[in-house]
Amino acid sequence: MDLERSVRDVLDREAVTALVHDYCLLFDENRPRDVAELFTVDAVVDYGPESDTIVGRDAIGATIAVGLARTFAATSHHVSNVQVVLEGDGRARSTCYLYAWHRYVDGSPDGELWGRYRHRFVRTDDAGWRIAELRLEAAGTVDFHRARMHPVGRRPASA
Amino acid sequence: MDLERSVRDVLDREAVTALVHDYCLLFDENRPRDVAELFTVDAVVDYGPESDTIVGRDAIGATIAVGLARTFAATSHHVSNVQVVLEGDGRARSTCYLYAWHRYVDGSPDGELWGRYRHRFVRTDDAGWRIAELRLEAAGTVDFHRARMHPVGRRPASA
Amino acid sequence: MDLERSVRDVLDREAVTALVHDYCLLFDENRPRDVAELFTVDAVVDYGPESDTIVGRDAIGATIAVGLARTFAATSHHVSNVQVVLEGDGRARSTCYLYAWHRYVDGSPDGELWGRYRHRFVRTDDAGWRIAELRLEAAGTVDFHRARMHPVGRRPASA
């Protein structure tokens, strides 16, 4: 066993997982500018087929700010089942599960989503690990503010 | 501190936790044969008192395939509170929490389960850590497709 | 990299996280005396503005015992998004997400809470890491047995 390499890998997995947790916490605290700081300058976010893919840290912050101001009275993003793959050379990917609860400004019934985040991460020279890509996929939703979502990739039942 | 032993233990806890996450992901993607590969050849799965205990990797794959084909339109298995105990000699146990959401093929209301998985793991010579035993326990359910489940072992209120 | 220090830090983060998991498991198993043992003798627990702050391990055990005996028929405390900050000198803090499900003795509809635990930990000479402080905050609740909770600190929408 290469002890130092193994420990570095454990710390890297902890670091990118912490970014996912920071994203949830800052989003749920309605701090869109701080959420944006977790991303690389040229990061790409894809929340689903009903909304345009967001490109760039500034656009990410601005888009999230609109949703937080107009749509949500409260949100809670519970992530689990975090699986990180270190790809070497300062790159990593992860898949995690998301159970998200939303209370709406307009008084609609609380919306729930069961799904996944797919993340890609890059270690930057100046700020360490940052999120380079985020894609949201849904296994299912109830009373959710979006009708169509990227699917989680479940095989058809007949397969 | 025995540094190398400590690091090996951290990696072993990560490895068996990854098996639990793989189980959820592959189940939710409707890939019963790939789920079965996570188990030892002679593994034992106990989903509760209403279904027979399943013995052997092939039977596990076949049983899960039936449920995935007939019962579920979508599922999402969110595990957390993972506690691993390394027992030495290539053996480990874990308890984790499960919040599982199910959408049914027949249009019944979505079913939810709050409970636990109890896992036993074995490190095999050819394929590394594998699941040797899985037991599902429920703290409670709502609109679930099974009426009776193994309980989580809560003491009676008067205790 | 100070290898030994890094590994000690990983093990410390695992140890305090395990305390949070133990708290959930023992609470959900209706074992209030065992829950109390996870805390320091002079620990402080704040479940919200409707209940007095609880001071001391014995009072924590007694208060939890009353709730478990009178209010809950079953509970399930799912924690995730665990973020630990080691402060040095045997002290640590953490924030984690909580999704808690409750079934009531009186037959009221199941109660749900989406929120956070804020923990402070101390490493004791005789028993290792223990919980020194616990504060519960809610992003939202449905059919919950308490009307008012400490908020999670979400900024107002106009901020």
| Residue of B83, B110, B89 whose CA lies nearest to B20 | B83
Partner C contacted by B142 (CB < 8 A): yes
| Residue of C79, C63, C142, C74 whose CA lies nearest to C102 | C74
Q: Return the C-alpha torsion angle C30, B99, C86, A6, nearest 10.
A: 130
Q: What is the mean pLDDT of each run of 10 residues along chain A (159 residues)?
A: 96 98 98 98 97 97 93 97 98 98 97 98 97 98 96 82
Top-confidence residue, A81 or C67: A81
A24 contacts on C by Cβ (under 8 Å) = 81, 97
Assign B18 to helix, strand or coil. Answer: helix
- Find, in chain A, the residue whose alpha carbon is nearest to that of B21: A81
Q: What is the pLDDT of residues A53-63, one digit of tens each?
A: 999 999 999 99
Which pLDDT value is given to residue B158? 59
Partner C contacted by B80 (CB < 8 A): yes
Distances (CA, A) of A71 to A63, A98, B1: 12, 19, 52
Give percent of chain C above pLDDT 70.
99
| Residue of B31, B27, B37, B35 whose CA lies nearest to B128 | B37
- pTM value? 0.97
Partner C contacted by B81 (CB < 8 A): yes
Backbone phi and psi for residue A81, each to the nearest 5 degrees, phi listed first: 50, 40
- Selected residue of A81, A136, A158 to mutate for chain B interface (largest B Cβ count, 10 A): A81
Q: Do A7 and B7 touch (CB under 8 A)?
A: yes
Task: For residue C97, give the nearest of A29, A74, A76 by CB distance.
Answer: A76
Task: For residue A28, give the nearest of C3, C152, C157 by CB distance.
Answer: C152
A10 contacts on C by Cβ (under 8 Å) = 10
Which pLDDT value is given to residue A55? 98
- DSSP element (H, E) containing C104: strand C91-104
Q: In which band, very low, low, confident or very high, does the pLDDT at B156 lie, cut at 50, 70 and 90? A: confident
